Structures are given as structure tokens and as C-alpha cells.
């Protein structure tokens, strides 16, 4: 019976909550699967222990399926990373995480949020554009893919106040 209930919950909608140091290993694994240069468990754990870092996670049962991390300095925040597992992409989970995160940042007093996104990351650019971010700067040849091709980082901003 317990196995049946567990399988039912595993198929449900992801539950969003604040992330903490206990999530470092799972976040690092999802980050490594999502980006060319992943962060280590130690890197993630240090961020999650930093009082200036805010993190949210999406989980189905005990499985992490998405996260968002940002750093807050006075009245500005920078989104450091957002990732959603492959099986959950394109289903609105990143937008749910982003919306929750932006509300929490506003509640903490952030008036503006910045982030960098690879100009070739069309799904991410679409997500941020729909969420009200606008391009404020460009860093040419900032990222390199696995073949060595250089792409620009777009610096985006959204005002919260």
C-alpha cells in the first residue's frame, strides 16, 4: 500500500519550497546535468549557507526536479542559476519557480533583479521575457559551448518596485 501511495505522489505536481544545505547534492547534480560547467556539491552548499542567498526547489516526492538560486545585496538581487529536469521542461515549472522566487525577493526588499543568460538559450530568454525582464547589457564571447564556440551573455533586469 505504501509503495502505491508513493508512486501516486511521485507522479503529482512538483511542490515548491525553500531549499537548504540538505539539498546541495541534488541541486549540484541537476546543475551539472543542465549546464556545460556544473557547480560542485561544496560550491552549492556554501551558497546555501550564505545568508545573502535565497534558494527555492521543486520536488516530486523526494526527487528534486528544479531549483532557482539568487544572491541579494541591499535592494538588488542577481539570479545565479535556474534549472529544471529534462522530463519537466516546457510544462511551466520554471515559471512557477521564478514567480515564487521574485515574490520572495520583493518581500525581502529587492527592488531590481538581474541575471545573465546565454543568447542561444531560447527557452530561457522566452521565460525571462514573459516574466518582464529586459536586456540592459551584453557581454560578447562570454560563454563557450562544448565545441569552443563563443556566445554572448545577455544581462537582463526586472524592476520589482
Helix, strand, coil abundance in the chain, percent, nearest 5? 35, 35, 25
Q: Residue 1's pLDDT band (boundaries 50, 70, 90)?
A: very low
What does the pLDDT look like over 18-61, one tens digit per residue?
A: 999 999 999 999 999 998 888 999 999 999 999 999 999 999 99
**Alpha-carbon span 158 to 114, nearest angstrom:** 7
Q: Which of 126, 117, 116, 121 is nearest to 95 (CA)?
A: 126
pTM for the model stands at 0.89
pLDDT at 120: 92
Q: Is 44 left (phi over 0), alpha (psi -120 to 50) or beta?
A: alpha
What does the pLDDT look like over 71-129, one tens digit per residue?
A: 999 999 999 999 999 999 999 999 999 999 999 999 999 999 999 999 999 999 999 99
Is residue 5 scored above 90 in pLDDT?
A: no
SS3 18: strand
pLDDT at 74: 95
SS3 47: helix
What does the pLDDT look like over 144-157, one tens digit per residue?
A: 877 888 999 999 99
Write phi, then psi, for 85 (nearest 5 degrees).
-60, 150
Q: Do 48 and 67 contact (CB within 8 A), yes or no?
A: no
- Which regions of the chain does DSSP assign to beta strands (E)? 15-18, 53-60, 63-73, 76-84, 112-118, 134-144, 150-159
Amino acid at each position: 500500500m505504501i509503495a502505491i501511495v508513493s508512486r501516486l505522489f511521485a507522479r503529482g505536481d512538483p511542490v515548491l519550497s525553500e531549499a537548504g544545505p540538505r539539498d546541495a547534492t541534488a541541486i549540484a547534480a541537476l546543475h551539472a546535468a543542465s549546464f556545460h560547467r556544473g557547480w560542485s556539491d561544496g560550491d552549492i552548499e556554501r551558497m546555501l549557507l550564505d545568508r545573502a542567498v535565497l534558494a527555492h526547489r521543486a520536488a516530486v516526492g523526494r526527487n528534486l526536479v528544479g531549483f532557482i538560486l539568487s544572491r541579494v545585496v541591499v535592494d538588488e538581487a542577481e539570479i545565479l542559476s535556474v534549472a529544471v529536469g529534462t522530463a519537466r521542461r516546457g510544462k511551466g515549472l520554471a515559471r512557477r519557480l521564478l514567480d515564487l522566487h521574485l515574490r520572495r525577493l520583493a518581500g525581502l526588499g529587492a527592488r531590481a533583479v538581474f541575471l545573465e543568460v546565454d543568447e542561444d538559450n531560447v527557452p530561457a530568454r522566452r521565460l525571462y521575457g514573459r516574466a518582464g525582464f529586459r536586456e540592459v547589457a551584453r557581454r560578447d564571447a562570454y560563454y563557450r559551448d562544448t565545441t569552443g564556440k563563443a556566445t554572448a551573455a545577455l544581462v537582463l533586469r526586472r524592476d520589482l518596485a
